[in-house]
Amino acid sequence: MVVLKTGPVPVGGVVLENHLVLAAGVLGTTGSSLARMLSLGAGGVVTKSIGPVPKDGHDGPCLAVLDDGLLNAMGLPNPSQDFVAELAPLAKKPVVISIFGGDPEEFAAVAGWFAGTAAAFELNLSCPHAEGYGAAIGSDPALVEACTRAVAQTGLPVWVKLTPNVTEITGIGRAAEKGGASAIVAINTVKAMRISTELRRPVLGHGFGGLSGPAVFPVAVRCVYELYEACRIPIIGCGGVSTADNVIEMMMAGASAVEIGSAVYRDVKIFETIKASLYAKDGIDPAGIVGCAHG
Ligand code: SIN
């Protein structure tokens, strides 16, 4: 397997401590859990998505553990502006704040609360099961461009997390780039459902939800590959990454870094495990493999 040399990783306006970033939604709801993931080897962390008003989320069950992934419909539960206080102990750390809103004005308002505390923002334009938010607006290129521009006006780097649940993801990536994004994150979860044959009803309270974990890795690789050909800004690969070889594969498709979520749910020490196989002092320059699968 290809092994990389160690060193800081500048990507999308943020200097990461390595190529591995905690994805939004897993252990990202408190300052102390974010600090813990940094201490357990994450090169950067993304918070749980924060929105314009506090939200309890969908009725349960909100999570189903499947053989090859996780199916969730949390419903974007979050404390809204109260979350600002959680971040005080993390000043100057590579903490990216995931935010959502229903329109560009709401995105700008939420971003404004965090000016001075964020290393960057990640716009959740991709949650597949939050009416009026996420993919509901992130499937429209004009809205993606407008929301990105509204947050870019803060002067902080903006990462835009894309939905795979569209016919043509490259058009959405280009819209984010046009709006002033510093990086694209691909992908959020794949819209999915399971039904309990015993109960004769969907396993999730919300009915359908978002699938993550190894089952979606090939979808994520395909999206990163297509975006690399369509966009110039860096891409952060996300979706089912659970091994060092998965990281290398994502990078060969075009990712400059990767986010890891579901694998953390299964093993909180996954960052150190992957780093042990991914890096060596005599490893190669990572820049040499980003996008190399394109020939
Ligand atoms: C949720 O909180 O519902 C999950 C967030 C997401 O899918 O973006």
Domains of the chain: 4-294 (3.20.20.70)
Residues of the chain with pLDDT > 90: what percent? 97
Of the candidates 220, 222, 125, 223, the one whose C-alpha atom is nearest the C-alpha of residue 175 is 125
Flag whether pLDDT at 275 surpasses 90.
Answer: yes
74 lines ligand 1 (CB under 6 A): yes
Question: What local confidence, expressed as pLDDT, does residue 116 receive?
Answer: 84
Residues contacting residue 189 through CB under 8 Å, at least 6 positions apart: 72, 126, 127, 128, 209, 210, 211, 212, 216
138 lines ligand 1 (CB under 6 A): no
Question: What local confidence, expressed as pLDDT, does residue 271 receive?
Answer: 98
Mean residue pLDDT across the chain: 97
Flag whether pLDDT at 278 surpasses 90.
Answer: yes
DSSP states of 63-105 as a string?
A: EEEETTEEEE-----B-GGGGGGGGGGGTTS-EEEEE--SSHH
Cis ω for the linkage preceding 289 (within 30 of 0): no
pTM: 0.97
Q: What is the pLDDT of residues 27-61, one digit of tens each?
A: 999 999 999 999 999 999 999 999 999 999 999 99
What's the whole-number mean pLDDT along residues 164-173? Answer: 98
Say how far apart CA 250 and CA 21 lie, in whole Å.
13
124 lines ligand 1 (CB under 6 A): yes
Say how far apart CA 162 and CA 148 lie, in whole Å.
12
Beta carbons within 10 angstroms of residue 151's beta carbon: 27
The two structure tokens encoding residue 41: 């080897």
Q: What is the pLDDT of residues 195-209, one digit of tens each?
A: 999 999 999 999 999
pLDDT confidence band for 108 (50 / 70 / 90): very high
The two structure tokens encoding residue 270: 């996954």
Active site residue 147: no
- With tokens 């953390």, the residue in question is 264
Q: What is the pLDDT of residues 14-31, one digit of tens each?
A: 999 999 999 999 999 999
The two structure tokens encoding residue 259: 């986010």
The lowest-confidence range among 26-30, 55-59, 102-106, 252-256 is: 26-30
Flag whether pLDDT at 125 surpasses 90.
Answer: yes
Nearest CA to ligand 1 atom 8: 127
Of these residues, 127, 147, 223, 238, which one is catalytic? 127
